[in-house]
Structure 1
Amino acid sequence: MPAKRYELIVFDWDGTLLDSAGAIVRAIQAASGDLGLPVPEDARARHVIGLGLDDALHYAVPELTKNRYPEMVARYRHHYLSRDQELVLFDGVASTIAYLAEQGWLLAVATGKSRVGLDRALVHSGLGAYFHATRCADECFSKPHPAMLQELMSELSVAPEQTLMIGDTTHDLQMAQNAGVDGLAVSFGAHDVDALASVPSVALLATPAELDQWLRQNA
């Protein structure tokens, strides 16, 4: 195996490891309907995936007033959590993560999920034991602010030039830019190729299989 280019590989969760983008969109739309608010179109709801929940709702449902945020959050979580046990990892993701861990990379997660939500997902997916550190949107600033990556690099004592951020949204890539780390885009999640291509990245990959191959050859 060639020498490692990176020491730390950070993954987004929803839309990058877990095939959950569609479920998030449907939960936002259903919650909006429950509150009698205009239901956002798929593209608008999909755009906010990866953001912290408050930021996501502010963009996806601009008609939502601040005093109704708790109600909206409760309805979103009701709809999402009622089906989240049915969500699955993208094909091949589990073996990719296992390989990276076995070969000695430090692995982390930076996600727009809450801590409760990520911990639940890590247990359900069986991937929890592979990750050395994780950060969630309710613990620090939401993407694209660099705080998640900065805290992960500090905790694991890894420099920015030795860190790679992998995600399916422009929010992930912009966070990587803001933290001074390389970003790698995958287009099988929330944001389309054109959106992802608008932000610099070391690669833009179309399938989990391409991601696995790229990491084995280039990371």
Structure 2
Amino acid sequence: MSDAPLSLVVFDVDGTLVDSQGDILAAMAAAFEAVGQPLPQRAELLGIVGLSLDVAMARLVPALEAVDHERMVGAYKAAYMDLRATAGVAQSSPLYPGALAVLQLLQDRDDVLLGIATGKSKRGLDKLIEGHGLEGMFQTLQCADFHPSKPHPSMLLAALSETGIAAERAVMVGDTSFDMDMAHAAGIAGVGVGWGYHDRQRLTRAGQVIDSFDALPAALDLIWG
């Protein structure tokens, strides 16, 4: 048994644990087609990944009415589910290289708990966890159904409350500025990842930025001393 105090590592999903950009872009195309709007550039679409869908659509096409944003969200969800059902989770949202090994390594530590904070719906998150065989790995699961969109700290505050971990013993791992701003707002450390959907330059509130999953354990040890 370790004498180290219990710590919590919370992961973002899209762009951090899994590369789902193909399905995201295809589902966005369906969403924009549903309201007869031209599709933005790839970089603009990926730039809003991590936000809850209603917030993302309003940011992408602010001139539309709320009812049109709702139509876009519905079309996006329907297209995303169809793509996932056709290809399967492992193919449509593959884990990034090294992700599973590091998750298993951290899960095996008796001083670490794992969690998720994602803009996905609960249904989408449950399907992803099942599709990758990650059931039972995460002690706290926070998603868009029950919280304001990132960067509001609600997801992380709920994760701290559920696990009983103090903010100074928690770390948020994510690929976007929304993740790092959320961590800052919750008073916990942020580790940015360089392989996701936001450029490194946007991760200004990250205490560290790593470029491969195998660098994460050392980054965590540096934070926790």
TM-score, structure 1 normalization = 0.90
**Cα pair 1:39 1:61 within 8 Å, conserved:** no
Deviation for aligned residue 1:78? 2.4
Q: Quick one: which of 122, 126, 129 aligns to 2:133?
A: 126
Give secondary structure in 1 for the equivalent of 2:44.
helix
> 1:161/1:32 Cα in 2 relative to 1: closer, same or farther (>3 Å)?
same
1:98 to 95, 104, 110: 104
Task: Give, in angstroms, the shift of residue 30 of structure 1.
Answer: 3.1
After superposition, where does 1:1-219 map in structure 2 within 5 Å?
A: 7-84=7-84, 85=88, 86=91, 87-104=93-110, 105-196=112-203, 199-211=204-216, 214-215=219-220
Per the alignment, do residues 141 and 130 of structure 1 end up closer, same or farther by CA in structure 2, a change over 3 Å counting?
A: same
8 Å CA contact 1:165, 1:181 repeated in 2: yes
Q: What root-mean-square deviation, in Å, do the aligned CA atoms of Structure 1 and Structure 2 show? A: 2.0
Q: Is the 8 A contact 2:34 2:71 kept in 1?
A: no
What is the rounded CA distance, in whole Å, between the counterparts of 1:82 and 1:166 in structure 2?
A: 29
Distance apart, 1:208 and its partner CA = 2.7
- Cα displacement string for residues 125-167 of structure 1 (whole angstroms, at most 9, x for unaligned residues): 1112100011111201111011100011011101110000000
Encode CA deviations 1:176-211: one digit per residue, 9 max, x unaligned: 000000000002111011112xx2222111223333
Q: Deviations over 1:52-71 (max 9, x none)?
A: 11111111232432112332
Q: TM-score, normalised to structure 2's length? A: 0.88
User: Structure 1 56/110 Cα, relative in aligned 2: closer, same or farther at 3 Å?
Assistant: same
Deviations 1:24-48 (A, max 9, x none): 1332133202321121111211111
Question: Structure 1, unaligned stretches of length 5 or more?
Answer: none
CA contact (8 A) 2:27 2:76 kept: yes
Residue 82 of structure 1: SS of its match in structure 2?
A: helix
The percentage of counterpart residues that share the same residue type is: 36
Once the two structures are overlaid, the 10-residue window that deviates more, 87-96 or 175-184, is 87-96
Q: Is the Cα–Cα contact under 8 Å of residues 177 and 205 in structure 2 kept in the other structure?
A: no
Distance 2:3 2:24 in 1: 38
Q: What letter corresponds to residue 67 of structure 1 in structure 2?
A: V
Q: Structure 2, unaligned stretches of length 5 or more?
A: none
The answer on whether the counterparts of 1:37 and 1:63 sit within 8 Å (CA) in structure 2 is: no
Question: In structure 1, the residue corresponding to 2:125 is in which secondary structure?
Answer: helix
